[in-house]
Each structure stands twice: as C-alpha cells, then as structure tokens.
Chain A
Amino acid sequence: MTMSSSSHAGIQSIAEYVPAKVASVGELHERGLLRGSPDTLRSFGFETVHLAGEESNIDMAIAAAEKVLEESEIDREEIGMILYAAALNSSSTLWDGNGGSPNGSVLQLESVPDLFKYPTSIIQTELDLPNASVVGINQLGCASIFAALRMARALIVAEDDLKSVLCVSADKFPAGRHRDLAYNIVSDGACAALVCRGADRNRIVECTQVTKGALWDSEEIENEIIAAYFPTAKALVERTLAKAGLKMDDIALIVPHNVALRSWEILGRLIGCPADRIYTENIARVGHTIGSDNLLNLRCATESGRIEKGDYLLLFTFGYGSNWACMIVQH
C-alpha cells in the first residue's frame, strides 16, 4: 500500500472483532443480565448481542488490529502511532473483565506497579509496530474512538513525518452485570482503523465533539442525560454539517452507533434525514459494541455496496461523560 504526500487524512482500512458467542435478548433476560424489560428492548430494535468468553479487551483489540494490518497490507514500520481508545475505565487497564474485582474498582490491584501496566504498550509489541508511539484515550465513553480518529487526522496534518496512525478501540463489559444501559444492549467487541495521509477513501472532512461535563454521573442523572441526548445531538449534527459546508441532503448515508432503533427514528426526524439513509442493519444483530459501532457499520455498509466513491457519510455517536461526537467523511 502506498500513500500520497497529501496533507489530508482518511480512514484507509477498517477491521473489527466481534466475539463468536451470541445471546438473544430473551437469553440475557433469563440469565438475569437485563435490568429492563426484554419486550421493550425488542421493540427498540434489539435481538442479539455478542459476548466475549475468555478473551480480554486486549485480546479483542489485538485481533481487530491484526486484521486491519493484514488486510491493508501496510508496511508495519510505516505506522507511527497507536491511539488506543477505551470507553470503559477497565479497558484502559489490564483487568480482564471476567469478574473478581473488588466493589467499586475496575482492576485487581496487587501492587502499585500494576497501575503502570498499560494495554497500549502490549498492543504495540504484540503487533510488532516498532516505530509506533502510543497514546491511550479514554474518559469519553463510546465516543472515545471518535477522539482517536480526530487526533489521528490532526497529528497527520500537523506532523510531516507521520504517515499512518492505527486507531484501536476495544471494550469488554464486566461479567455478570446488566447489559442494558439507557435502553440499549451492550455487546463486547473491538475495532481498528488505519488513518493514513492521503488515503484514497474515507477522507476525514470534519470532526466535532460536545462535552457536557455537568452530565458526568451517568448513574445519578441518567434521566437528564437521556433528555439532553436529542437536542444536543441535533445541534451537533447541524454544526458539523455547517462547518463542512454541507447540508443533510448532501449526506448519502448516516453511519450510526448501534443504539435503539427508535432513538434513530426520532433523531432522523429531528435532523431531517429519512430512515433509508441511516444504516441501522446491525442494531438488531450486533447491538451496541460501545466504541466500535460506527467503524463496524462503515465497513459493513461499504461491503454491502451502499456507499459509492465520493459519497459524504456522517458518523455520529454519544458517550457517557457526557460526550456527543460527529464526523463527516468522504468515501
């Protein structure tokens, strides 16, 4: 793979890792893994989710990243940076997500040095990327990967010698915990994207993010967060379009996060986007993979022939924290 010396950056390749193990909404309910009504979740468009077994979030991250490196056939020495985006606090540690953590903690702390053991370094060495410096990104919930893509683009534009950045996101939900959050069902999964200088597809046109720090306590003020979701999402989408000099009619496809289909029906109406221009095919089958939804959907939409060269695509997500993130790419 060769890239031009252009100053623009794009998402050249995408790969995902979704655990093979599948559970239906009914099965999750029977196993006590749902807080809410399975009927409501089904009516919101969810059918099955993917559950990690023994594999940790790092295993999933490496699997997705290895896949994207192989499929892109990139020279690994070209990768100058890894941005590892984790939504769950536990995903930025070496905690394996299989339980056993003390109440309130996200990792098994045996000693202080454990606090200095980072997944990103392991990913770098396991993938054999000797020229890649590493940065971990978290605290943006499901919007973490958007921050990674945004920073990758900005760094490539800013640093002449940086050609390719590997963005990886992986999250494994704590075992035995309710998998429905704010009326969405969470899957385990990972994604990886190569952001490259002069990429011949998925040029990153615009990236925006809104953070409402007042809404940081996702448990205590969940209702306020749900209520804030729609007006903030609409405002951000409109702002992103305006910054890009585009209108909603210019967008060929919205590539969403896999939250409730109903919420996309509502948001679609609010932003003036008809349902057939929102790629919702994976919501029922995959559920909400925390940070990996949009890239997974972008790959699926591309492979399904829904996207043509030159199409403008709008990616949108929300992450606890609370963060709303939006991105426009040109395929």
Chain B
Amino acid sequence: MSSTEMREQSIFLTGATGAVGSELLRNLAARKGLTINVLVRRTDREPCERVKTLLGDLDVTAKLNVLEGDVCAGPSLGLDNAAVGSLQRETTHIIHAAGSTSFGLALPDARAANVWGSRNVLDFARSCASLECGAFLSTVYVSGKRRGDFAESDYGDAGHGFVNSYEQSKAEMEEMVREAMSELPLILVRLSIVVGDSATGRVSRFNAIHHAIRLFYTGLAPMIPGEPAGPVDMVSSDFVAAGVLQLLENGPSPGVFHLAAGRESCSSLEELVDETMSALARFRPEWRKRSVEKPLIVDLDTYELFVRSVEETGNPVLQGATRSIRTFAYQLAHPKVFETERAAAALAWGGISPQPSLAFYPRVIKYCLESNWGMRPC
C-alpha cells in the first residue's frame, strides 16, 4: 500500500496499544495523506500519552486522531454521538486489532473482550457509509486441537476442542464476522504467533512465548509437550504489519487469510528448542555456567503427569512456571501446518512474504536478554 494509494483514506484502528496494533500504528503513522482514527482505552494513563509513548520519536506524517473509547463499551464504542457520526461518514477502512490475547482468562471474560467487542465493531462497520474494507484480526489457533493441515478455507476446531479460552473466543468471533461477510466488505486475517521485529528483534509486548524463553533461561522449564518434529509457526511483527495493510488494501474481500510461516518457513519444535538454548548461550556466555539442561520434549500424558505433580506440591514458583507454559504449550502437542496459499497470492505482488522463523528468532531472544524481558530500556 503506497502513500499515494492511501490518500484520502481514513482508517479506524482499534487495539493500537497491543503487540500487533502498535506495529500497525507505527507503520500507518509514517505515511502521508492518511487519516488515522485510533480508539484507545483510558488506563492509568491518558490515551494520548499512551499513543505518544508507542510512537516515540517516529516522524508522524499521517493525520492522527486519538479517540478515548472502548470496543467493549457498546455500539457507541464509548464515543460521543458527534465523534461516532464523524467516523461513520469518514471511515473507509477498519482494522479491528483490539482484544485480549491472554490465554488464561475465564471463557466469559475472553468472550467479553474478543466476541462482544467485535460485535460492537461490526455494528459500527454497518453504519459506515464509505467502508471499503474492514479487517478483523484473528488467530490461526481458532483451529484448536486439530492436527495436520489447516487451510484458510477451514473454520474452527472441527469438534476437537480448544486449548484455551483465547482460541475459543476468537473462533466464536470468526463465526460472527463470517455471517456479516454477506453484507459487508470484510476480511479475517488470522495471525500466527508474533514474536518480534525481524530486523531488530524488538518486542513491543511480551507474551507467553517470551515468558517461555525466560523460563528456559532460568532453568525452570524441564519439559514441554509436543513432538520433536512437530511444526512450530512463528512470524515477525513487521511481516504481520505489512501483510495486514496489504490485505486491507488489496486482499479480495470477503476472504480469510493466514499470516503465518506456513509449511516452508516454520521450524520443528526440536529445532526451536535447540536454537533457543544455543542463542541464550551465544548472547549471554556466562549463562553456560548455570548448566541449564535443554528442556525435554515429551508426550502430553507425561507432561500432564508432571503438571499434576507440581500442582500437588503447591510450590508457587514451579506452579507459576508450568501454568505459564501450559496455557499455550498444549498447542505443541497438537501439531499442525497452516496453509497460506491465499495470503501468499495476495501479498506476492508487494513482495511480502514470511521469513523462515529461525532466521529472525535469535534476534528476538537477544532483545529479550538485553531488555531483561522489557524491564530495562533497550
């Protein structure tokens, strides 16, 4: 999407303070001739202040409006009537990136964030007179506990169940968006695990994967469930940002797309574990002295026996470590490959394609170490 093509366009962006949303915001904000209306919740900090922090010293050339609101605050999204009216007239594109990516929420809470919030954004989309495309961000893990290939034309868990409430709430969100596709120009963009910037390794928000790396580092992760040869799909944040914007502008609508490493660029679980240990030793040589053993890749039954034992001990540190891993690691025990044909075709002309996971993953580990997992400015 060139700056020329985006001229006169007005993008309504939710979730701009999230891991993916912040990458999208930075990407869009550096373009000319574009209006970006960003919906930001008030936390303990002012919305404008939060956005300013995210943008840092970026040269903002787009027209940027920060609107205080909340996708979960009903059809008005927490905005006053005048603001809603203006957005309804002006908005040509919607990127709905807001939601909870927490794997540990109770299902009602996950639904509140990911289903009901999306319903409000859908209602808002219906009211936009000039809407050209609305992109709803989802996850490839709406596939739940399926195994094997998962195509962009596939939906949901196919009765296999979900690993966590996040996956289930996103699958329910997709059902709602799919129904609306008959009346609205919408796309669903399913993201793989976003780990950081491919060039710098920078992580805008640390998630379960980064916590797992930390547990590897501290030696508190003796085992993870999975199959050594099972595929692990990870993508960089810059690929995702470029891909979402390209699909928003040029992706066939309606449609479902996977922004994933896919068969060609994913790694095996064993390769990932090996690279994690290798990179930790390479970037922090003194870490070798700790003699941390490589975590074992074990079958699910063995892992569950270990988790149950840890739970019985009541040991808060080990419980925290296993709970942190188990929220996502059960996915590793249900290996699958995410097919990316549609996305690859739509992104090809822009020269956008995922890098092999292991090409940039070490840089993310380096960033984790240097920033002490976000505790230290880097």
Residue B53 lies at the interface, judged by CB distance under 8 Å to chain A = no
Q: How far is A44 from B305 in the complex, measured between Cα atoms in Å?
A: 12
Interface flag for A232 (CB, 8 Å):
yes
Tell whether A231 pairs with B314 under 8 Å between CB atoms, given A263-B309, A269-B302.
no
- Checking B218, B221, B305, B318 against A266 with a beta-carbon cut-off of 8 angstroms, the contacting residue is B305
By a CB distance below 8 angstroms, the chain A residues around B313 are: 36, 40, 183
A43 to B309, CA, bound (A): 9
Interface size class of B (residues with CB under 8 A): 20 to 34
Can you report 30 residue pairs joining A to B where beta carbons are below 8 Å apart? A36-B313, A40-B313, A40-B314, A44-B309, A44-B312, A213-B291, A214-B289, A214-B291, A223-B317, A223-B318, A223-B321, A224-B218, A224-B220, A226-B315, A226-B318, A227-B220, A227-B221, A228-B219, A230-B223, A231-B223, A231-B294, A231-B295, A231-B296, A262-B309, A266-B302, A266-B309, A269-B298, A269-B301, A269-B305, A270-B298
How does the 8 Å CB contact mask read for A201-223 relative to B, with 1 for contact and 0 for none? 00000000000111100000001
A214-B289 Cα distance, complex, nearest whole Å: 6
The chain A residue sitting closest to B312, CB to CB, is A40
Kindly state the separation between the CA atoms of A230 and B310 in the bound complex, as whole angstroms: 13
The answer to whether B306 touches A266 (Cβ under 8 A) is: yes
Chain B residues within 8 Å of A263, by CB: 309
CB distance from A237 to the nearest CB of B (A): 12
Q: B293 interface residue, CB < 8 Å from A?
A: yes
**Shortest Cβ gap from A276 to chain B (Å):** 17
Q: Which of B289, B291, B295, B306 is the most central at the interface, judged by chain A CB atoms within 10 Å of its CB?
A: B291
Q: Chain A residues with Cβ under 8 A from B301's Cβ?
A: 269
Q: B45 within 8 Å of A by Cβ?
A: no
- How near does chain A come to B233, taking the closest CB pair, in angstroms? 25
Q: Which 6 A-B pairs have the closest CB atoms?
A: A231-B293, A212-B291, A227-B222, A269-B302, A223-B317, A224-B219
Chain A: minimal CB distance from B333 (Å): 14
Known pairs A223-B220, A224-B220, A231-B294; list 16 more (Cβ under 8 Å): A36-B313, A40-B314, A214-B290, A214-B291, A215-B291, A227-B220, A228-B222, A228-B293, A230-B223, A234-B296, A260-B309, A263-B309, A266-B306, A266-B309, A269-B302, A270-B296
Contact status A230-B222, CB under 8 Å: yes
A-side contacts of B64, CB under 8 Å: none
Within 8 A of B (CB), among A3-54: 36-37, 40, 43-44
A109 within 8 Å of B by Cβ? no
Residue of A nearest to B290 (CB): A214
Which A residues are CB-close (under 8 A) to B294? 231
* Residues on B with beta carbons closer than 8 Å to the beta carbon of A44: 309, 312
Residue of B whose beta carbon sits closest to that of A262: B309
A228 to B318, CA, bound (A): 12
Looking at the assembled complex, report how far the CB atom of A273 sits from the nearest CB atom of chain B, in whole angstroms: 13
Which residues of chain B come closer than 8 Å to A269, judged between CB atoms?
Answer: 298-299, 301-302, 305
Contact check: which of A37, A43, A231, A262 meets B222 at CB < 8 Å?
A231
Contacts of A213 in B (CB 8 A): 291
Give the nearest-CB partner of B289 in chain A.
Answer: A214
Q: Contacts A223-B220, A269-B302, A270-B298 known; A235 to B293 CB distance under 8 Å?
A: yes
